[in-house]
Chains A and B, each alone.
Chain A
Amino acid sequence: MESKKSPTTKRATGSKQASRRKFLATGAAAAALGAVQTTAVPAAGQTAAPETKSLSDLIAYGDRSEYVKSVRVAVDERPSPDEFGLTFHVLTPLQDSVGIITPSSLHFIGTHRGSIVPDIDPKQHRLLIHGMVDRPLEFSMDDLRRFPAVSRVHFIECLGNHSKAKDKTVQETHGLTSCSEWTGVLLSTLLKECGVQKGASWVVSEGAEEVKGAGSIRLAKAMDDCIAAYGQNGEAVRPQQGFPLRLVVPGFEGIYNTKWLRRIKVVDRYYMTYNDYGHISKDEEVAALTFQWGPKSVITFPSGGQTLPGPGVYQLTGLAWSGGGAVRRVEVSTDGGETWKDAEIRGGVHPKAHTRFGMDWKWDGRECVVVSRSTDELGQVQPSRAELAAFFKVPPDYYKTHGVQGSDNTIQPWRVESDGSVHNAI
C-alpha cells in the first residue's frame, strides 16, 4: 500500500519479515534525526495506514495497536545510531506511561562508549566468576536456571538523566529512567557458590559486547540485592538491555547494570574501569551523591508539551522512585511549592522501583506551577534546585542555568499557562 504518511507508518512491499525490519530501521533513523514527534497528533479525520502484519505473525507475537504511537527518541546531543553505527542514549516516553512497568520495547537505552548491540547465542553464552574466590566457576544459561530465581521490580536510571531548562517534555527531562520486573539469580547466590575470600572488597563486572564494558561495585552491594537477570517483564531480557544476561544493581546509577554480562572478577580494591572513571569526582560531597540514586519524582501529566483543553477535573499523575528503598510518600503542589498535599499511591510499592502516584485535580484555568516531591523509607526527601544550591553554597538560581553535579534528583516544576499549554519551569 502506498502511503504519504510519516516515515514511521510508511510500508514497503516485499516479504513481511524484510518490510518489518525496514519499518523498524526507518523508524529508528527517523527517531535519530528527531523527525518523530514525542506526542504524535494526526490531523483531524486522518486515518493511519493499517500495519498489515499477517494473522499468523500476530498469533505468534502480538503487536500494539496501530493507533498507539508512543516511541523512544535519541538524546538531542548525539544521534543514535551515529556515524559509526553506535547507539548512545535513547529516551523512554514517560509522558505516555501508565502504571509502573516500562514496556521492554520502550525501555531507555544507555551504552558504554556507545555500542553495537551484540548478537549472542544464549547456548554459547557463559558467565565466569573468578578472582578472589575459592572456586572459580563458569555458568551456562541453563546452569543459572538451576539456582533459585527472584523476580523483582526495579528501576534503572542513567546518571545522565539531568533535567535542563532547554528540555521541553518529560521524555527529555527524565526519559533515562525505566522500570521492569527483572528475573534471575541473586548475585550473592552465585558469589556464595564460588566462595568469596577474605580481603575481597569490590567486584568488577564485564559485558560481552565489542568494548567489553566493565564497572566496579563494592562487594557489600554485590552481596546485597544485585541480580544476574535473564528475564525482563515476563520474557527474556531484550538484546538492547543485555540479552541473554545483565547485571541489575538496584538503586544504583545505570552504568553499573552491566549488559551482556559475561564475567565477574572479585578483587581487593577499586579498579576504576573506563566506565567508572568518567563518573568519579574530586569533591567528596559530590562523590558521595554517586552510586545510589536519591529520592526522585516527576509529574507525567500534566507535563511539558501537553495541552489541557480547558478548566475542569483532571488526574494529575506521575512516578516516584528512590535508590534508597521504597517510596513512602509523594506530595504534590499546584502553586509552585507554597502548599503541599499528599498524593495517592496508585499501584504496587516496591523498593527501588517506579511508584505511581496520582490525585484528582481541578484546574481553574489560571496559570500555575505543578511540582511533586517524594520521601523514601530512609526518610530522605527529594530536594528542590534551590535547596541543592544552598547545600553547595551557590546562588539560589544557580541550577536554573547550570547542570546539577552528580545525579540530579531535584524537583521538576511544570508551568501550566492559562491557554492550557504546559512548559518546563526550571
Chain B
Amino acid sequence: MRFRVALTAMILCLCCGGLAAAQSSTDGTYGVGKTPTPEEIRAADITISPDGKNLPPGKGTAKAGAAIFAQKCAACHGENGYGGLAPILIKPEPPVKSSTPCLAPCIGPGSVMPLHAPYATVIWDYINRAMPFRQEGSLEPDEVYALTAFLLYKNGVIKEDEVLDQTTLPEVKMPNRDGYAIPDWKPGMPRPFPNKRKG
C-alpha cells in the first residue's frame, strides 16, 4: 500500500521536473522497513530512564546481592569490590588507587563507579546490559536489583535492609545527583570558549 503511494509520488515528482531529493510519497516517507511487533520492541529495549521508566518488575536487597557478587563479580572486581583487574566497585578504606588506569568513559583512577553515577538507574542499566564479563545480559532482574542494592549499601548510599525495585530504585538519592550540567546544543552554535575573534 505504502509502496503504491510511493510510486505515485515518484511519478508526480518526475512530472514536476524531477525535484532533487524529493521524497517518494505524499507523506514524505519511503515505505521501507518492517514494523516490529510490541514483543520484539520489548525484547530489544533495555534502555532505562533515570526516572525508572522501562525498569522491569523484580526486587533485591544487599544481602541477596552479596552472594551473587561473590559468585559472579568478585573474580574480576576483587573479593571486597576492589583490588581486582576490573574497576573499583566498593570504596576501600583507606582509599586505594585502582590498578585500572582509565576506563572508557574515563572515570579516573581511584573513582568508584557506582558512586559516580547521578542516578541509581544508570548502575542498574549497566549491570543489566554489560555484566558479567562474557555472560553479558544473562542476569535476571532480581539479580540486577540485588547487585545494585549491594553496591549502594557497601558504598554507604542505602541501608542494608532497603529493598530496591521499580519504585524505590529511581528514588535513591545518589551522592553525585547534582554533579552534572547538561549543555545546550543547537546547529551552528559556537562553544563558549574560545570567544569569537575580535577585529
Residues of A within 8 A of B (CB): 77-78, 83-84, 88-89, 110-114, 128, 130, 135-140, 143, 146-148, 159-160, 192-193, 195, 204, 206, 210-212, 214, 218, 220-221, 224-225, 255, 262-263, 265, 267, 269-285, 287-292, 294-295, 324-325, 375, 378-383, 387-388, 391
Contact = CB atoms under 8 A, between A and B. Distances in A.
Contacts of A218: 185
Nearest to B190: A378
Contacts of A375: 197
Contact of B101 (A77, A128, A130): A77
B4 interface: no
Given A211-B129, A288-B183, A375-B197, A269 B49 contact: yes
Contact of B105 (A278, A282, A391): A278
B47 A214 contact: yes
- Chain A residues touching B, majority SS: loop
Given A114-B103, A294-B191, 7 more contacts: A212-B46, A269-B50, A274-B125, A280-B118, A287-B182, A288-B191, A324-B188
- Chain B residues touching A, majority SS: loop
A84 B101 CA distance: 15
Nearest to A274: B126
Contacts of A270: 50, 182
Pairs A-B, 4 closest by C-beta atoms = A278-B105, A137-B33, A280-B180, A287-B181
A275 B107 CA distance: 10
Contacts of B117: 272, 277
B29 interface: yes
Interface residues of B, number: 62
Contact of B129 (A83, A212, A255, A269): A212
A84 B192 contact: no
B106 interface: yes
B60 to A, nearest CB: 20
A114 B21 CA distance: 40
Nearest to B188: A378
A221 B188 CA distance: 10
Contacts of A211: 129-130, 136
A143 to B, nearest CB: 5
Interface stretch (B36-44, B89-97, B145-153): B36-44
B174 to A, nearest CB: 10
B194 A294 contact: yes
Contacts of A77: 101-102
Contacts, number: 200
B35 to A, nearest CB: 6
B191 A380 contact: yes
B104 interface: yes
Nearest to A214: B47
Contacts of A324: 188, 190-191
B104 A110 contact: yes
A290 B117 CA distance: 18
A192 B29 contact: yes
Nearest to B38: A136
B183 A290 contact: yes
Contact of B36 (A130, A224, A225): A130
Nearest to B119: A272
B146 to A, nearest CB: 19
B36 to A, nearest CB: 5
B181 A281 contact: yes
A77 B126 CA distance: 24
